[in-house]
Amino acid sequence: MIHDVAIIGAGPAGLCLARALSGHGLSIVLLERQAEAELAEPAFDGREIALTHASQALLEKLGLWSRLPADEVAVLRDAQVLNGPSLFALKIRAEQAGAERLGHLVANRAIRRAAFEAVAECADVQLRCAVSVRAIRHAEREVQLELADGEVLHTRLLVAADSRFSETRRQLGIGARLKDFGKTMLVCRMDHEQPHRQTAWEWFGYGQTLALLPLNGNQSSVVLTLPPREIERLRALDEEAFAREMEQRFDRRLGAMRLASARHAYPLVGAYAERLVGPRCALLGDAAVGMHPVTAHGFNFGLGSVQRLAEAVLAAHARREDIAVPAVLARYERQHRLATWPLYQATNLLVDVYTNDRLPAKLLRGAGLRVAQGLLPLKKGIARHLTARA
């Protein structure tokens, strides 16, 4: 048997693509190295995903949004950017775009669970867990995947959705520009005394970067970026000592704080694939573009890649054409690169400038925020970008 599409990696991007392609007469196989139980009930991983209105619209279309439990979804109304010890903040407000909110924050495990449930209902998607691909071979009109147990699968189109460190990308001979920021990000939920007013903070302190993502009630996701050794020290602190240190790091602006979840750490490495497609193959989600989380665009871009690839493939299928010919894949590559490359570069530049603690950079950072605060069209533009439905 030959499958139409084989997707390696049943993370949120891979699962969403399978769901988007389902129901159109294609046969889809999804290969994942984790056990099925881990996909069905994903563990808390500390990630709270800021979703734009366009991402919400796609999740609604894919039948995921209605599956998200209310307590795992929080309103993100406004955002503010702070620099150093100054109380001055650049504010981006939803009302600047005539909207009630900039977006939502949704726990990553809730997205994964909803995506798994949605795919489990698709009779044309075969999910194979606890497998790994040993070799990939190209034949004339198909790609062959040799699994670790020797079984060989045949597919017309291969999609790599196996994370920013994608082994499939490497097996396909596609390189990626990796940018190691040399820092680690610690994420956890914390309760705090002062209200967050559904406002996200990005605080470029001197020697540390802090972010606060508002959840429900007086709880937020706290994101702290530091050199790896310091993050290890913080993870090893007992809960009381950790809470006191976080209060201090937040300059007591949130009052008393209390740890409300496990602490997770992520090394900060950005990745942009040198090519997003190859012969009968395409890269999806983080395997194509792995963003620094500071601009909260990783999965939003991942969903963009799902939408663009699904549209290109389904249009070819509707015309009864081969879904994996170069013209179809080139359309996907062109559109996705155009949508992501400028923001990928801008994000890396922002991180470089705003985490540089030399005096000229510190002055430039403060001045930059004040200039931006006075530029209403810029702030409206950002708010409109986040709240546009398509």
Binding site for ligand FAD (CB under 6 A): 8-14, 31-34, 47, 49-50, 108, 132, 161-163, 167, 185, 187, 266, 285-286, 293, 296-300, 302
Give 65's Cβ-side CA count (13 Å radius). 15
In the complex with ligand FAD, the residue whose CB is nearer, 211 or 316, is 211
- State the minimum distance, in angstroms, from the CB of residue 115 to ligand FAD: 9
- Region label for 285, one of left (φ > 0), alpha (ψ between -120 and 50) or beta (otherwise): left
In the complex with ligand FAD, the residue whose CB is nearer, 14 or 205, is 14
Tell which residue, 331, 342, 348, 316, has the closest CA to residue 276.
331
Tell which residue, 240, 236, 235, has the closest CA to residue 256.
240
In the complex with ligand FAD, the residue whose CB is nearer, 278 or 302, is 302
The total of other beta-carbon atoms located within 10 Å of residue 242's CB is 20
Q: Say if residues 362 and 206 touch (Cβ distance below 8 Å).
A: yes
What torsion do the CA atoms of 125, 131, 132, 133 make, to the nearest 10 degrees?
A: -50
Query: Which are the contacts of 66, defined by CB distance < 8 A and separation ≥ 6?
Result: 60
In the complex with ligand FAD, the residue whose CB is nearer, 272 or 316, is 272
- State the minimum distance, in angstroms, from the CB of residue 59 to ligand FAD: 12
In the complex with ligand FAD, the residue whose CB is nearer, 309 or 316, is 309
- State the minimum distance, in angstroms, from the CB of residue 349 to ligand FAD: 19
Tell which residue, 3, 319, 331, has the closest CA to residue 141.
3
In the complex with ligand FAD, the residue whose CB is nearer, 83 or 300, is 300
Q: Say if residues 251 and 238 touch (Cβ distance below 8 Å).
A: no
Q: Are strands 176-192 and 219-226 parallel, antiparallel or unpaired?
A: antiparallel
CA angle 293, 310, 137 (to 5 degrees): 90
Indicate the length of the chain as a whole number: 390
Instruction: Find residue 126's DSSP bridge partners.
Output: 29
- State the minimum distance, in angstroms, from the CB of residue 50 to ligand FAD: 4
- State the minimum distance, in angstroms, from the CB of residue 147 to ligand FAD: 10
In the complex with ligand FAD, the residue whose CB is nearer, 19 or 47, is 47
Instruction: Find residue 107's DSSP bridge partners.
Output: 48
In the complex with ligand FAD, the residue whose CB is nearer, 161 or 254, is 161
Round to whole Å and give the CA distance between 252 and 237.
19
The total of other beta-carbon atoms located within 10 Å of residue 357's CB is 14
Round to whole Å and give the CA distance between 99 and 337.
28
User: In the complex, which residue's CB is closest to ligand FAD?
Assistant: 11
- State the minimum distance, in angstroms, from the CB of residue 374 to ligand FAD: 27
